[in-house]
Structure formats: structure tokens, C-alpha cells
Amino acid sequence: MGLDFSIIPDYLDIILLGVAWTVGITLAAAALSFAGGVVFAVIALYAPWVIRQPFRLIEFVFMGTPLLLQLFLIYFGLVQIGIDLPAFVAGIIGLGLHFAVYNSELIQTSILAVDRGQMEAARTLGLSRGQALRKVVIPQAVRAVVPPIGNNMIALLKDSALVSVIGVSELTLSAQRAIGKTYRPFEFYILAAAFYYVINLCMEWVQRKIERRISISR
């Protein structure tokens, strides 16, 4: 009975491996969610109707269903149609697309807030519509949404624990495996929570650095 944190060093390698998987899947899914958010936003605002509607359906599915169900569909469901993804890849795709939809809503609002004169000036200088979007409008829109997208990335970190259900040995599952060997849940869940908090602090520090650099460049 009682707490015994002295057992932690014997299983620290398992926990640190889980930390590495958590950081890896978070960074990869964050990159996918940001790039996907930009693509979805541009399609939603500027693509022809025949292209825009399927993406609207994708957004509806990812916003209207639980992330856990989406992970199950990607990992277990796609196998039935011949697409067998590794659990790590399925987790990245599930998390990335889920948060890409929410990032898209933010970026769309920010794009619409950019003065239309910016687009007209870029076209006057000889840029095509696509070039004006890529070089003038989207960079300004992205700068304005760094804080809320940063908040989404922190939420992504927390939701990365859900990929444990498809077998990815991230931090939560690693803690559960250590608990299975020691029957000491409190110690290892506290340790996992501490690592999540440290990763969270690091992400917030990076976000503040990016925000300061953007404010200087304006």
C-alpha cells in the first residue's frame, strides 16, 4: 500500500519511448493539419462547385463524428477495401485530418478578413490568382490565426492519447504497459501527466516565439 516512486527508474525506458512516439505523432499530425487546413480553406473559398462539395462532405464527416470513431474507420475500416496502413500512419492521418478541418475554418475566416485590395494589387502587378493567394493573401491570413491554430495543436497533443486504442505505443499506452507489469497505476499515470505537461509547455514556448517573430515582421 502507499506510493512507491522508486519503481519508476526500472521502467523509464518504456515511458521515454512513449514520449518519443507521442512527440513524433504530434509533430507529424500537426504539420498535416496545418497544410491540410490551408488546402481545405482555399478549396472551400475558391474551387469550383464540383470540387468544393466533396470537400464540404469531408469537413462535415470529420466535424460531426468522434475522433475515436475516425481512427477506427481509418485503421480497421480501410483494410476491408485493401488499404492496410500501419497504426502510426493511421494515427497521423486521423489526427491530421480531424484538426485540418478545424484549422480550415479558422483560415477561411482569416482569408476573408484580408483586404480585397491586396488581391487586386497583386493581380495588377501581374500575378495570377493562384500566385496572389500563395504569395500575398494566404501568408497574411496565416499570420492572423497562429494563436488559435496553436491552441488546436495543444488539443491535438492531448488527443494523441487516443491512438493508443489502435496499438500505437505512445505515452498513455506505455504508461499502461508499465502499470501492467507493476500494478502501480497512480505512479505511472502521474509520470505520464508530468511528461504531457512538459511537452505542452514546450509547444506553448514555440508558439510564443512564432507569434513574436510574426509581430516583428509586420
CATH code for position 33: 1.10.3720.10
> Nearest Cα to 33, choosing from 112, 94, 89, 110?
94
**Residue 184 backbone dihedrals phi, psi, to 5 degrees:** -125, 75
- pLDDT of amino acid 91: 95
| Average pLDDT along the chain | 90
- pLDDT of amino acid 32: 96
- The three three-digit cell numbers of residue 98, written as one number: 480531424
Structural domains counted in the chain: 1
Domain that holds residue 140: 21-171
Cα dist. 171→14, 21, 79, 112, 199 in Å? Answer: 9, 7, 26, 39, 11
Assigned domain for 76 exists: yes
- pLDDT of amino acid 1: 62
Average pLDDT of each block of 10 consecutive residues along the chain (218 residues)? Answer: 84 94 96 93 88 86 92 94 93 95 92 81 80 83 86 94 91 93 92 95 91 72
What pTM value is reported for the model?
0.89
Length, in residues, of the chain: 218
Assigned domain for 191 exists: no
- pLDDT of amino acid 197: 95
**Residue 39 backbone dihedrals phi, psi, to 5 degrees:** -65, -45
